[in-house]
Structure 1
């Protein structure tokens, strides 16, 4: 049964106003090809333009509007370029993730033909716990989670809780069931015996509920070496916040480029599409940015909605988008980061054509 989607769209900073509209065009084409009604896009201010228009990079009106939506697309932000006091505060994406409890950050790394992968055949997913770990600004109800008892000593909280590990572990094992059936827990329990040790212990406990999924574990430092040598052997990696952030950048480059690295941030009832890469202000407005990661992030968002609502049309639209990106790259159309000559608009045009 066809449903009409209502999705928020927040363009963000830097290359955001280029890659987000490109992704929106591809979503529109895929939804139409799947026989669904047009998407109702809800534009919302965020980032530098929102500071200029509303005095905040994430206005209260934007947060209120997001509260009425199930899913949205967020472009990159450039909080390092914001004027104070905004520069020193939690960035817009972090604030949104924390406010809506988007605990699961799902970051695939897939090597496409024509994308200059360092290790062809790589096809894995980093499942990153998104609310605690070593990132201090997500560890506390109020405050930054960092403090300095003296001018020469800085302390940050690293927090691991059973409840947070259980829910991210279930996400990883459910995901593995639909892939190649293997989960690798990445940790540092040999040194951080209580915190990382709890993460490993709880993941092993959850693994007992998925006897059809193979499970192993690796120390974070060893994992970086294993990925560089044999990334195609891995399927789903589950880890805490900071480890997942670092590993997903590494796996993206192994697969070819951060420009093809998508992600979604999700809870049980809300999801946000957000490319892994940053705002790249040095190339903003030049029509050279790669929109593939943003396009693939939107495909992941449609897939999340399809699963949540058991909607095969949304599944079909997501598969069309993924296949269209793969076909476009395979036939030699690529942006500069992948060794090609296509601009942002030209690449998006080719993907839209391939969707049809």
Structure 2
């Protein structure tokens, strides 16, 4: 297996180093053959190549078996004409990574206020209100006058069908329950189309139970009784917001795993930002990128029927669980370790 690792900006290099250490422990434990090619992205790439991400890097990623992307300082990248490109958007769009799979669960040893739960948000990744990926040319936000701004939202049958099928296929490996999250009572055309297509796809999976919840009500339900949900499928922006909430409910946004998948490619990605305010202080939680990498190994192992990759993914997840249970973790989740030591603890548990 060939992986490209892009540490990114801010805390990215710290959590990427911790993740690489965990990955190397899994490689040794399960006698895997994985080549890790570490490259630069974000500010480092902008300084060296004049762009935060390059076509040459995309070519390298295309022929690899997976990508691990650390957080980038996307808020600081404002002008694409100057090479300031959002790396996450770039890879999601150019590799057509249409499904963003974001699990969230409670862990023994990590305090939470909502009780035990285990759910996954399946988020459409290529359209919606994200103005950098819903237009063939130009931007989906328009400043009509200095006092009037308009945002365009694209919802298509193709994207709704494939994200719905991703959710149902995942549910068949879990508790066979899919919840559609929408706002079709107000956005009758766009969310109405999404909901209608989800219901059509549901007819192909009679073994999976379904229900639907309005997005505003969903936020209340998840805080009150997250255990009632299994797999949740929704559009891009709703999924982005909801998955941050569910990760935080597990104890910290730093524990939210995230895998972006398409037909041919997949990208593991920390679900949080680059947190420049804590960069270099050895306090960032590396678990999000570690769990995302485990998801990537499992995805590739399942596609290619490589059992050892799936076992390695499970071992990484189990080591994270054990580390949290014994408080061998960073301060945000009740431990007293730094980023480097927390990664080393997880690696040792493997």
Q: What is the TM-score when the length of structure 1 is the normalising length?
A: 0.95
Contact 1:120 1:255 (8 Å CA) reproduced: no
User: 1:83 Cα deviation (Å)?
Assistant: 7.7
1:27 aligns with 2:23: yes
Contact 2:50 2:83 (8 Å CA) reproduced: no
Contact 2:298 2:310 (8 Å CA) reproduced: yes
Instruction: Note closer, same or farther for the CA distance 1:85–1:129 as it changes in structure 2 (3 Å cut).
Output: closer
Partner of 1:352: 347
User: 1:26 Cα deviation (Å)?
Assistant: 0.8
Partner of 2:283: 288
Partner of 2:142: 147
Partner of 2:166: 171
Deviations 1:213-272 (A, max 9, x none): 100000001100100100011100000000000000111111111010010111011000
Aligned equivalent of 1:329, options 319, 324, 328: 324
1:304 aligns with 2:304: no
| Whole-angstrom CA distance in 2 between matches of 1:121 and 1:13 | 33
Contact 1:128 1:239 (8 Å CA) reproduced: yes
Partner of 1:277: 272
Contact 2:51 2:84 (8 Å CA) reproduced: no
Structure 1: state its 5+ residue gaps: none
| Whole-angstrom CA distance in 2 between matches of 1:98 and 1:346 | 35
User: 1:70 Cα deviation (Å)?
Assistant: 2.5
Structure 2: state its 5+ residue gaps: none
| Whole-angstrom CA distance in 2 between matches of 1:210 and 1:123 | 22
Q: In angstroms, what is the RMSD of aligned CA positions?
A: 1.4
Contact 2:51 2:83 (8 Å CA) reproduced: no
Partner of 1:99: 94
Aligned equivalent of 2:6, options 4, 7, 10: 10
| Whole-angstrom CA distance in 2 between matches of 1:46 and 1:339 | 32
| Whole-angstrom CA distance in 2 between matches of 1:87 and 1:337 | 37
Contact 2:4 2:61 (8 Å CA) reproduced: yes
| Whole-angstrom CA distance in 1 between matches of 2:115 and 2:337 | 22
Runs of 4+ aligned structure 1 residues displaced above 6 Å come to none
Partner of 1:120: 115
1:251 aligns with 2:250: no
How many pairs does the alignment contain? 350
| Whole-angstrom CA distance in 1 between matches of 2:188 and 2:227 | 29
1:52 aligns with 2:42: no
Contact 2:46 2:83 (8 Å CA) reproduced: no
| Whole-angstrom CA distance in 2 between matches of 1:151 and 1:344 | 45
Contact 2:51 2:82 (8 Å CA) reproduced: no
Aligned equivalent of 1:41, options 36, 49, 53: 36
Contact 1:10 1:46 (8 Å CA) reproduced: yes
Q: What is the TM-score when the length of structure 2 is the normalising length?
A: 0.97
Instruction: Note closer, same or farther for the CA distance 1:343–1:182 as it changes in structure 2 (3 Å cut).
Output: same
